[in-house]
């Protein structure tokens, strides 16, 4: 009775949000219908193949039934199929030890494998349609996994019995709270949002904001060594997220670590834009972002030449800016490091399934309705879909089925602290990079200047990560053929975040290097050598050789720029859910 009462409250909150206009006005926002129609026509054209496929599926079920029957009478039976090592959904012992749950698990895995095999092997289907269908069928399969339901998840079922259903009551309370927080849209809490505060226990590296305009605040960090390299270091993070991924806690702060190596470090903190900045474009982010920051660094230090780092989309902008500067004979940036950044988008991974004319048209309409900005929740939902089991369904199980509060986790707090984006900027990026691949083709034009990455002759360091689902290593590697100067390429262990943020003291993961840069990544792997631990020290050795002699350390405010406020500044504290 209590569950029914609370369910009514949850449903009322959901309906309130949707009747208020929060639901999508587009029947097919993913533009999936045409691709599914194409798939259906190709399948119907070869009924013999479908009969064979159906037989193969039933053969898998028969093998599973046979193995289960043998287990039932006490005979040993090897599993017909096992989860991938990275699949955390079925790690509870009962998924293997209990024959009933083992059967459910394997039945699900056999079916899922078969579904993907049919899509990936059907002849004649356009590759873009194949990838889109395969991705969204994967989303459906993730959603209907037996781990997501009370009666087919042994851990949830055990908790429900032992607590007399109190876990479900708590879960409904959590669900209602998330719907209320999202104003009728399900805003799943991934962490305890009250456990963290920017400037108190996140983004705590000491420094000062020394410059700001409509788009950026520029932070200069306080040195921790008596001497520093003469050439300053400018870091350009992505504007899709906030910069403090590089300064979470002191023990995993890249900012603190690189300051301790003897560098004068500056970090761009992008604004969280609202409708007033809707017309800001890619050109503006180059001019008022990177170029303004380079000029400000010179005013702050008296040094005209800098080294630069670009992370993710910040790296793409940095690459475009370097090509612009090369065309203008502007040589103030002397080396560039790219963290998980793409220049060539022909193999940009699963994100490409969201980028076609129909979806971009829907996105444009949605941004117009939001005052000319992309709502932060849209990008948050997109990135979560790329790892749905880890970033959606694991929290559905923990928060709503087990009825537990999410645990405090700084990385997930940062992940939930998304930013808005100007419509003009975002549409340009999607069309010119993901659709047209203009930067790699030499067809991008900024402020009337054609961009050619081959004219960028400075040393370049390309960092990628083996399991990166946003900027795949194969995609990052393509930049080795684009720049005109010396290029160093590495692959780090883990993914888009942990592959970058891997402090040496953690002694985790590994990285790979190779002396030569062949035409493709597969050939590079053949000659790659593995090294344990963090890649940071090796990179620092590369950077030190390009950073000049040691000079007395510079304090924020020593130069021509007066400090404006303490780091981390005010721009980074503007949350999208608070205006």
Task: List helix spans (H) across 343-390.
Answer: 357-369, 376-386, 388
Polymer length of the chain: 579
Among 299, 287, 298, smallest CA distance to 328 is for 287
User: Token pair of 108, please?
Assistant: 């699900």
Strands 207-212 and 216-221 come out as antiparallel
Q: How far apart are CA 268 and CA 291, in angstroms?
A: 11
Q: Which residues contact residue 66 at a Cβ distance below 8 angstroms, ignoring those fewer than 6 apart?
A: 77
Q: H-helix or E-strand containing 309?
A: strand 306-311
Which residue do the tokens 């891997």 mark? 502
> Can you give the pLDDT at residue 375?
87
Averages of pLDDT over runs of 10 residues in the chain (579 residues) are 60 55 56 86 88 94 96 92 94 95 97 94 90 92 95 96 95 90 85 94 97 98 98 97 96 97 98 95 98 98 97 98 98 98 93 87 89 86 87 94 94 92 95 96 97 98 96 97 98 96 95 96 97 98 98 96 97 82
Task: List helix spans (H) across 263-332.
Answer: 282-284, 292-301, 313-327
This prediction's pTM: 0.91
Handedness of CA 522, 524, 526, 531 (dihedral sign): negative
3-state secondary structure 78-111: CCCCCCCCCCCCCCCCHHHHCHHHHHHHHHHHHH
User: Token pair of 226, please?
Assistant: 């008596």
> Can you give the pLDDT at residue 387?
87
Q: Do residues 72 and 118 lie in contact, with contact meaning Cβ atoms separated by under 8 Å?
A: no
Q: How far apart are CA 89 and CA 265, in angstroms?
A: 42
Q: What residues are paired with 221 via a beta bridge?
A: 207
3-state secondary structure 394-430: HHHHHHHHCCCCCCCCHHHHHHHCCCCEEHHHHHHHH
> Can you give the pLDDT at residue 11?
59
Q: How far apart are CA 566 and CA 563, in angstroms?
A: 8
Return the ∠ at Cα 508 (arms to 504 and 514), rounded to 5°. Answer: 80
The CA-based dihedral angle spanning residues 333, 339, 345, 346, taken in that order and rounded to the nearest 10 degrees = 120
Q: H-helix or E-strand containing 265?
A: strand 265-270
Q: How far apart are CA 72 and CA 62, in angstroms?
A: 15
- The residues carrying an active-site annotation are 312
DSSP 30: T
Number of H helices, E strands in the chain: 22, 17
> Can you give the pLDDT at residue 22?
44
Q: How far apart are CA 285 and CA 304, in angstroms?
A: 21
**25 Cα distance to chain centroid:** 27
> Can you give the pLDDT at residue 2?
62
């Amino acid at each position: 009775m209590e569950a029914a009462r609370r369910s009514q409250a949850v449903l009322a909150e959901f309906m309130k949000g949707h009747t208020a206009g929060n639901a999508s006005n587009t029947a097919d926002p993913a533009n999936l219908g045409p691709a599914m129609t194409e798939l259906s026509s190709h399948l119907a054209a070869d009924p013999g193949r479908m009969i064979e496929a159906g037989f193969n599926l039933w053969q898998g079920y028969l093998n599973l039934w046979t193995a289960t029957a043998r287990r039932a009478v006490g005979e040993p039976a090897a599993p017909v199929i096992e989860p991938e090592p990275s699949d955390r959904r079925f790690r509870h012992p009962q998924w293997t030890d209990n024959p009933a749950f083992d059967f459910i698990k394997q039945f699900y895995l056999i079916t899922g494998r078969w579904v993907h095999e049919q899509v990936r092997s059907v002849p004649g289907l356009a590759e873009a349609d194949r990838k889109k269908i395969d991705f969204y069928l994967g989303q459906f399969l993730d959603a209907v996994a037996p781990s997501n339901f009370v009666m087919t998840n042994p851990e949830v079922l055990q908790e429900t019995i032992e607590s007399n259903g109190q876990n479900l009551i708590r879960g409904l309370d959590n669900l209602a709270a998330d719907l209320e927080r999202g104003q009728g849209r399900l805003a799943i809490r991934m962490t305890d949002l009250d456990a963290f505060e920017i400037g108190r226990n996140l983004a705590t590296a000491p420094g000062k904001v020394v410059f700001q305009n409509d788009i950026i605040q520029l932070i200069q960090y306080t040195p921790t060594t008596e001497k520093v390299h003469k050439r300053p270091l400018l870091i350009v993070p992505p504007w899709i997220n906030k910069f403090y991924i590089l300064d979470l806690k002191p023990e995993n702060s890249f900012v603190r670590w690189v300051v301790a190596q003897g560098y004068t470090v500056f970090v761009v903190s992008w604004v969280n834009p609202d409708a007033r900045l809707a017309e800001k474009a890619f050109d503006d982010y180059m001019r008022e972002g990177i170029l303004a920051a380079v000029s400000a660094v010179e005013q702050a230090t008296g040094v005209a030449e800098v080294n630069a780092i670009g992370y993710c989309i910040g790296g793409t902008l940095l690459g475009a800016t370097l090509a612009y500067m090369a065309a203008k004979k502007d040589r103030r940036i002397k080396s560039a490091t790219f963290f998980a950044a793409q220049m060539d988008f022909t193999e940009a991974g699963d994100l490409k399934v969201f980028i076609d004319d129909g979806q971009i048209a829907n996105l444009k309409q949605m941004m117009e309705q939001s005052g000319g900005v992309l709502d932060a929740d849209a990008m948050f939902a997109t990135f979560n879909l790329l790892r749905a089991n880890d970033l959606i369904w694991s929290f559905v199980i923990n928060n709503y089925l087990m009825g537990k509060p999410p645990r405090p986790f700084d990385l997930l707090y940062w992940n939930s602290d998304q930013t808005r984006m100007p419509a003009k900027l975002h549409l340009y990026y999607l069309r010119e990079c993901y659709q047209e691949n203009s930067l790699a083709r030499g067809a991008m034009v900024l402020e009337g200047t054609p961009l050619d990455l081959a004219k960028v002759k400075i040393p370049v360091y390309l960092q990628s990560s083996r399991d990166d689902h946003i900027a795949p290593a194969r995609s990052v590697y393509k930049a080795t053929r684009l720049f005109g100067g010396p290029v160093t390429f590495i692959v780090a262990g883990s993914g888009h975040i942990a592959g970058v943020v891997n402090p040496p003291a953690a002694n985790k993961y590994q990285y790979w290097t190779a002396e030569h840069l062949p035409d493709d990544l597969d050939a590079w792997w053949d000659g790659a050598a593995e090294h344990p631990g963090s890649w940071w020290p090796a990179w620092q050795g590369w950077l030190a050789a390009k950073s000049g002699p040691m000079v007395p350390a510079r304090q924020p405010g020593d130069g021509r720029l007066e400090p404006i406020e303490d780091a981390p500044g005010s721009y980074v504290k503007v949350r999208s859910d608070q205006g």
